[in-house]
Amino acid sequence: MTNPAPLSRRPAWEIPFLTALLAATIWVACFYTPGVWLLTGIGEADKPFLDLRHLLAAGQAAQLGLNPHVSNPFDPYLRLFGFSDWWLVSGSLGLTLQDTAWLGTLLLGLTLASTVLLLRPAGWRQGAGLLLVLVSPPLLFLINRANHDLVVFVLMSLALGCLRHERGGVRALAILLLAVSAVLKYFPLAAVVLLLDARTRREFAGWCLLYGLVLVLAWPSLEQALRTAASHTPAPAWLFAFGAPTFFRNLELAGAAAWGWLAAGLVLLAVAASWWRSAARQASPATGEVRTLEREFACGAVMIVGCFLHGSSYLYKMVFALWLLPWLWRATLDPDEERWRKATQSLLLAVLWFEGGAALAINLSVFTDLLSPPVARQCIEVTIQVGQILTWALVACLGRALLIYLGRETTRLLAGPR
């Protein structure tokens, strides 16, 4: 019989702090080594915080009496503004493109702080796992652009923290934050599934009313933005593109969106069949910390699956995969579900690192004359399609887990107290 290992005397904040410090150091090093952006295929080495510039340019234009939904002359690429007028408050506050650097730095700092405070890695292995996500090429892409997904991520992380609370008022604040996030960026509407976390049907009805009220009040700020967004919907392809149609766009097939929806439908049927056979769907709803882990995993999963099905963005949407990590680290499952957990964890790392890592290796091979440019392009094409297949597999795993969560929570809510 062996003696039990001595309890660690390390303070609880040490691993989260060191993880955040290492991630911040690597982020800063990338900004001071612009070649990283080029070698990993991210690009825009000369325009850091490009998407934050877009927001500030729109606010600046609005202050001068221009309509940024029609003309946005201060944007580096003259991109029209397709988001809620709530963002234009930046101009009212006197913020201009001259404030890009400090605002971008603040946004990255808030992102790191909200991540480590919510996830709280408990050991070196969890800290290393979090670091691998934070410095992966898709997240480097996100921090390079300072995309406003980071604002949504911070707000929704705060909402998830509020849902951990017992007091009804604090939990209602979480619903308010989720609704505001949906107004700011549209796709967080997918997180409406978290309303199922209500403890009673009365609380659920109140949450629905609050969420709907925010959307109604915000509608005047959304009308023109939605028209602009609908007429300028991106259709990304090539490296780091994220979405169901992307695989088919890369093959230059006509009707790529239709092919994407068809493939998504077939995958959904397969996922639903797997869910139906799963014993996990019959399990009792979780309680305590396990319930928190499942709720936050479901939030990350629904955001990734929703963005993937929409098919108009890039792989930096994987920032919402950060919320998957605590469940992947700490969940205790039966053997069948444990295999799914391990598959999800492996696929997540593959999706985060495969395309960017391969692009780095291929570009270095070109610069050192190990590969000719035509061969390198062929390698990139294969890499991208393999990356798409990995992404489809990850989305299938997340979709299955999401169905299990939705089934359990709906049953619990209907059978629970009024």
The pLDDT-based confidence of 284 (bands split at 50, 70, 90) is: low
Amino acid 282: pLDDT: 61
Mean pLDDT of all residues in 97-113:
96
Structure confidence at residue 280 (pLDDT): 64
Tell me which residue has tokens 């003309």.
71
Sign of the torsion formed by the C-alpha atoms of 213, 118, 42 and 55: positive
Same domain, 19 and 139: yes
Per-residue pLDDT at 243 exceeds 60: yes
Residue 267 reports pLDDT greater than 90: no
> In terms of pLDDT, which residue wins out, 275 or 110?
110
Same domain, 382 and 280: yes
How many percent of the chain have pLDDT more than 70?
Answer: 96
Higher-pLDDT residue of 315 and 265 is: 315
Res 7: pLDDT: 43
293 and 348 housed in the same domain: yes
Of all residues in the chain, the percent with pLDDT exceeding 90 is 67
In a domain, 4, yes or no: no
Which residue among 232, 266, 282 closes a domain?
232
Tell me the per-residue pLDDT of 355-411, one tens digit each, with 9 for 90 and over.
999 999 999 999 888 999 999 999 999 999 999 999 999 999 999 999 989 988 998
Are residues 106 and 137 located together in one domain of the fold? yes
- How far, in Å, CA of 334 to CA of 339, rounded? 9
The model carries a pTM of: 0.92
- Specify the number of domains making up the chain: 2
Query: What's the domain range around 270?
Result: 233-418
The token pair that represents 295 in the structure block: 């709720």
246 has pLDDT over 80:
yes
Q: Model confidence over 63-101: pLDDT tens digits? A: 999 999 999 999 999 999 999 999 999 999 999 999 999
Quote the CA–CA distance of 191 and 155 in Å, as a whole number: 12
Residues 212-234 pLDDT 10s: 999 999 999 888 888 887 777 77
From residue 24, how far is each of 114, 135, 298, 356, 415 by CA, in Å?
13, 9, 27, 19, 46
Residue 305 within any structural domain of the chain: yes
Residue 367 falls within a domain, yes or no? yes
What residue has token string 């291929």? Answer: 362
**Residues 239 and 259 grouped into a single domain:** yes
- Residue 140 contacts residue 240 (beta carbons within 8 Å): no
**Is the model's pLDDT at 195 over the cut of 80?**
yes
Q: Does 243 reside within a domain?
A: yes
Q: Could you tell me if 228 and 242 lie in one domain?
A: no
Q: Three-state SS string across the chain, please?
A: CCCCCCCCCCCCCHHHHHHHHHHHHHHHHHHHCCHHHHHCCCCCCCCCCHHHHHHHHHHHHHHCCCCCCCCCCCCCCCCCCCCCHHHHHHHHCCCCHHHHHHHHHHHHHHHHHHHHHHHCCCCHHHHHHHHHHHCCHHHHHHHHHCCCHHHHHHHHHHHHHHHCCCCHHHHHHHHHHHHHHHHHHCHHHHHHHHHHHCCCHHHHHHHHHHHHHHHHHHHHHHHHHHHHHHHCCCCCCCCCEECCCHHHHHCCCCCHHHHHHHHHHHHHHHHHHHHHHCHHHHCCCCCHHHHHHHHHHHHHHHHHHHHHHHCCEEHHHHHHHHHHHHHHHHCCCCHHHHHHHHHHHHHHHHHHHHHHHHHHHHHHHHHCCCCCHHHHHHHHHHHHHHHHHHHHHHHHHHHHHHHHHHHHHHHHHHHCCC
Among residues 175, 201, 232, the one where a domain terminates is 232
pLDDT value of position 2? 41
Q: Distance between terminal CA atoms of the chain?
A: 52
User: Tell me, what amino acid is at 282?
Assistant: Q
Res. 5: pLDDT tops 70? no
**In a domain? residue 253:** yes
Domain closes at, from 198, 232, 266: 232
247 and 306 part of one domain: yes
> What is the average pLDDT across 178-186?
94
Same domain, 261 and 199: no
Same domain, 59 and 95: yes
pLDDT above 50 for 6: no
Tell me: do 85 and 29 sit in the same domain: yes
User: Is the pLDDT confidence value at 164 over 70?
Assistant: yes
327 within domain boundaries = yes
* Whether the Cβ atoms of residue 79 and residue 47 lie closer than 8 Å to each other: no
Residue 100 lies in a domain: yes
Output 275 or 102, whichever has higher pLDDT. Answer: 102
Task: Output 168-177 pairs: Cβ under 8 A, ≥24 positions apart.
Answer: 168/203, 171/203, 172/206, 172/207, 172/210, 175/207, 175/210, 175/211, 176/210, 176/214
Cβ–Cβ < 8 Å for 27, 146: no
Q: Is residue 3 part of a domain?
A: no
- pLDDT at site 294: 93
Least confident range of 74-78, 178-182, 256-260, 388-392: 256-260
Q: What is the pLDDT of residue 281?
A: 61
Q: Are both 237 and 220 inside the same structural domain?
A: no
- Whether 3 has a pLDDT exceeding 70, the answer reads no
Mean pLDDT over each residue of the chain, to the nearest integer = 90
Residues 185 and 60 placed together within one structural domain of the fold: yes
Q: Do the Cβ atoms of 324 and 301 come closer than 8 Å?
A: yes
